[in-house]
Amino acid sequence: MQPPAEAHIEHIVALISDYWCANPAAADLAEGVAWWVPELADMPPAWIQEALERLVQRGLAVARQQPDGRTIYASSRRVHPPSP
């Protein structure tokens, strides 16, 4: 059986993936991604961050570090890369 956090994180992965399927041009900081799907609003920020990192590791998302050090996440299927 999966630990409780593990199941939640994989659920967040699915929610973000679904959002990107409907909105392939969407890109934002982890904090912004939490606003995309109402269900994410109550999730711990660390879980959302972990879900985004898993999406990057799986090749489903890209992470672009900005000059100020913050990271923008976008679907790897996006037509245009996130602007710096």
3-state helix, strand, coil in the chain (%, to 5): 50, 15, 35
Domains along the chain with CATH numbers: 4-75 (1.10.10.10)
Q: What percent of the chain has pLDDT over 70?
A: 88
Asked if residue 8 has pLDDT above 70, the reply is yes
Q: Which of 15, 61, 59, 21 is nearest to 34 (CA)?
A: 15
- Reply yes or no on whether the pLDDT at 40 is more than 60: yes
- Classify residue 82 by its DSSP letter: P
- pTM comes to 0.86
Q: How confident is the model at residue 82 (pLDDT cuts 50, 70, 90)?
A: low
